[in-house]
Chain A
């Protein structure tokens, strides 16, 4: 009995320690978070905070002498995703505690935002981590305080839900807001984007198929788009939509754009570098080198489209300064050659489609015949050598003189002399022209 109890206790101890191990491993991150933001005192209600911060006119003087408005519109918070789901002020502002709370100190207004940024990490750890790897976070770390942090895009008190929880997709109403959000800093690019085929479709008709900023640049872990890696990977980025048959069918756009690009000089090289040395610097063009980056136009745009010959030539000349009028047609323009388009390429292809089987087939046929005839000859010759009086009927001339002489004694000598007549007498049918004969040294 005591033994059973002991086993039970040991078993329970093992289970418990295992459970502890499991719970403690992801806990390292959360324990760090808790260091950064203390456990909120949930007994402090939003009404309690609003009794002061819900009254306009509260300000705080910051280190640089500027004033921070401490007023928070209770309605704004209530209509935000946090407020509507019942999250309390203290869940973000956890270190404040009961009134009188310790004074908040910041050098300037930007410092306020940056200081408070870490509170998002408590609940949104994975997004926070992703953002930490972004070009924005690296710029922050390098000392650019203006680089975006969470609340620059999401706001502090009016955070909206932008994602469909079920599908994980961006909500349609959010798509239109995204470029405006990025435009807070990247206004020049935003202006270009609005003129593009993608941007104009988004603003004009809230088209669900065109990319917004985040579809190319990513959401939280936004990469530096000026690196070689980004450049080499970019064709796959465009291909996400442009090889999707369903999406492209709506607009009559070919889904062969990637395969035809990869099949040609530039794309081949880019595709190999992307796989083998993703950080290689190359001047081989990727999609956006020809089509434009944020100002992408339709290929048949009457003014700027690449189907306008001069536009394409100007594009080629960026790397091929000696290119002349005919040069751009060296590029198949994403078309697969056919009798109508690029007939020369099509017929060269067709020619080889016939030539290759003919050549290989013909040669293989002759070689196989030759091998089998030689093998049969060899076997017969062996029979002849073994029994000189043998019954071998044919003795081909390429057997060598000895074998021929062996056979000359045999009853089939008639056959052999026939074959030798074909070989011996010199009527030289190949050299019917005596002059040519004389020409030879």
Chain B
């Protein structure tokens, strides 16, 4: 991940200068789009299959042709998601081999301390939230929760897709278990995205850096203080004038 500091040319003294940091690369932003779209389509085509007694679900699944169509769309979206996951993991493995894998997203003990301090802050036991690095514990929770969730969805989904092949290797009981896991994990993931992710990126503050790849200096300093320190320390001459 190339964090660069963009140099804004001075236009006029009236213009307030704010440095913008590169937060996500183009490929990461594409990955998010693919995830967002496939996840949405999978949910929209999957939920009717789960809530089969609801009338809207029954109208969608009313005829064999419609069932086949919804299944096909679900499978296509699943393939998109699987390819995205393969790309994501492949890139991680490749970087790991090159010893260039950024470790920001990995969970450390510090994250648990951060979480504790954050709760303490929210309960007025601390005056300020703890300083975070590139990803705060909330963002790591999002990433890893989705990571595990998508893993469960893909494995159970493939089991359901190819039951005849799967049961040549493992006992048949895996099929109903996978069905249960698939449909329940989907709900967990949906609730998680709506309550947790949407809250943090839309309501708490509108955070569009996954779409435009950028984060302003102020947000960087406020929400990712440690990362801000690290980047500005490297180039002390370029540190912004806004710091007190």
Q: Using a CB–CB distance below 8 Å, which chain A residues touch chain B?
A: 264-265, 268-269, 271-273, 275-277, 280-282, 320, 322-324, 326-332, 337, 342-345, 348-349, 352, 355-356, 359-360, 363-364, 366-367, 369-374, 394-398, 400-401, 404-405, 408, 415, 418-420, 422-423, 426, 428-431, 436-437, 439-441
Q: A352-B188, A359-B191, A364-B195 are in contact. Are A369 and B119 (CB under 8 A)?
A: yes
* Cβ-defined contact, A356 with B176, below 8 A: no
Tell me the chain B residues, 157-199 only, with Cβ under 8 Å from chain A. 163-165, 167-168, 170-177, 179-181, 184-185, 187-188, 191-192, 195-196, 199
- A330/B163 contact (C-beta < 8 A), A345-B177, A396-B121 known: yes
B111 → chain A closest CB, angstroms:
8
Contact A373 B180, CB 8 Å, known A276-B58, A401-B244: no
B91 at the interface (CB under 8 A from A): no
Per the bound structure, the CA–CA distance linking A268 and B54 in Å amounts to 12
What does DSSP make chain A's interface, helix, strand, loop or mixed? helix
- Chain A: minimal CB distance from B161 (Å): 12
B6 on the A face (CB < 8 A): no
With an 8 A cutoff between CB atoms, is B218 at the interface?
A: yes
Instruction: List chain B positions with a Cβ less than 8 A from chain A.
Output: 1-3, 49, 52, 57-59, 61-64, 67, 99-104, 108, 110, 119, 121-124, 127-133, 163-165, 167-168, 170-177, 179-181, 184-185, 187-188, 191-192, 195-196, 199, 203-204, 218, 221-223, 225-226, 229-230, 233, 242, 244
Residues of B near A367 (CB, < 8 A) are 195-196, 199
- Residues on B with C-beta less than 8 A from A281 are 64
Q: Is the CB of A342 within 8 A of B176?
A: yes
A271 and B188 within 8 A (CB) = no
Residue pair B188, A268 in contact (C-beta under 8 Å):
no
A86 nearest CB across to chain B (Å): 55
Say whether, besides A359-B188, A428-B230, A441-B1, A326 and B170 are in contact (CB < 8 Å). yes
Q: Judge whether A344 and B173 touch: CB under 8 Å.
A: yes
* Smallest CB gap from A317: residue in B: B164
Query: How far is A428 from B100 in the complex, measured between Cα atoms in Å?
Result: 21
Q: How far apart are B54's CB and chain A's nearest CB, in angstroms?
A: 11
Question: Are B128 and A397 touching (Cβ within 8 A)?
Answer: yes
A277 x B62 contact (CB < 8 A)? yes
Chain B neighbourhood of A374, CB < 8 A: 204
Q: Which residues of B contact A276 (CB under 8 A)?
A: 58-59, 61-63
Shortest CB distance A315–B (Å): 14
Chain B residue nearest to A397 (CB atoms) is B128
Of the A-B pairs whose beta carbons lie under 8 Å apart in the complex, a sample of 17, sorted by A's number, is: A273-B63, A320-B164, A326-B171, A326-B172, A330-B176, A345-B180, A356-B188, A372-B122, A395-B127, A401-B244, A418-B127, A422-B127, A430-B108, A439-B99, A440-B102, A440-B103, A441-B2
Contacts of B102 in A (CB 8 A): 439-441
> Which residues of chain A are near B1, meaning CB under 8 Å?
440-441
Cβ–Cβ contact B191 & A360, under 8 A:
yes
In the complex, how many residue pairs between chain A and chain B have their CB atoms under 8 Å apart?
A: 185
Known contacts A330-B175, A429-B110; decide if A348 and B229 are in contact (CB<8 Å): no
User: Considering the complex of A and B, which 4 residue pairs feature the smallest CB-CB distances, nearest first?
Assistant: A329-B172, A330-B175, A276-B62, A330-B172
Residues of the A chain whose Cβ atoms lie less than 8 Å from the Cβ of B127: 394-397, 415, 418-419, 422
| With known contacts A326-B170, A359-B192, A360-B195, A404–B244 Cβ distance under 8 A | yes
A418 to B126 CA separation, bound complex (whole angstroms): 11
**Complex Cα distance A366/B218, Å?**
24
Q: Given the complex, which residues of B lie within 8 Å of A272, measured CB to CB?
A: 52, 57-58, 61-62
Measured in the bound complex, the distance between the Cα atoms of B163 and A116 in whole Å is 59
Write out the residue numbers on chain B whose beta carbons fall within 8 Å of the beta carbon of A428: 133, 226, 229-230
Partner of A344, one of B2, B129, B174: B174
Chain A residues contacting B131 (CB-CB under 8 Å) are 422-423
- Find the residue from A359, A404, A431 having the highest chain B CB count within 10 A: A431
Q: In the assembled complex, which residues on chain B have CB atoms less than 8 Å from the CB atom of A429?
A: 110, 226
Closest chain A residue to B123 by CB distance?
A369
A440 to B106 CA separation, bound complex (whole angstroms): 14
Q: Chain B residues near A398 (CB, 8 Å)?
A: 128-129, 222-223
Smallest Cβ-Cβ distance to A364: which chain B residue: B195
> What distance in Å separates the Cβ of A406 from its nearest Cβ neighbour in chain B?
12
Residues of A within 8 A of B165 (CB): 322
Establish whether residues B226 and A323, one from each chain, have CB atoms under 8 Å apart when the complex forms. Answer: no
* Residue numbers in B under 8 Å from A440 (CB-CB): 1, 102-104
In the assembled complex, how far is the CB of residue A353 from the closest CB belonging to chain B, in whole angstroms? Answer: 9
Known A330-B174, A331-B172, A363-B196; further 16 A-B contacts with Cβ < 8 A: A265-B179, A276-B59, A322-B165, A323-B164, A328-B172, A329-B173, A330-B167, A348-B181, A352-B181, A356-B188, A366-B122, A372-B122, A401-B242, A423-B131, A429-B110, A429-B226
- Say whether A439 contacts B199, CB under 8 Å: no
Query: Contacts of B133 on A, CB cut-off 8 Å?
Result: 428, 430-431
Cross-chain contact A423 with B225 (CB below 8 angstroms):
yes
Q: Choose from A280, A332, A419, A420 the contact partner of B176 (Cβ within 8 Å).
A: A332
Instruction: Using CB atoms, name the residue of chain A closest to B204.
Output: A370
Complex interface: chain A residues within 8 A of B62 (CB): 272-273, 276-277
Contact (A441, B100) CB under 8 Å given A330-B175, A345-B176: yes
User: Which residues of chain A have C-beta atoms less than 8 A from B171's C-beta?
Assistant: 326, 329
**B55, chain A: closest CB distance, angstroms:** 9
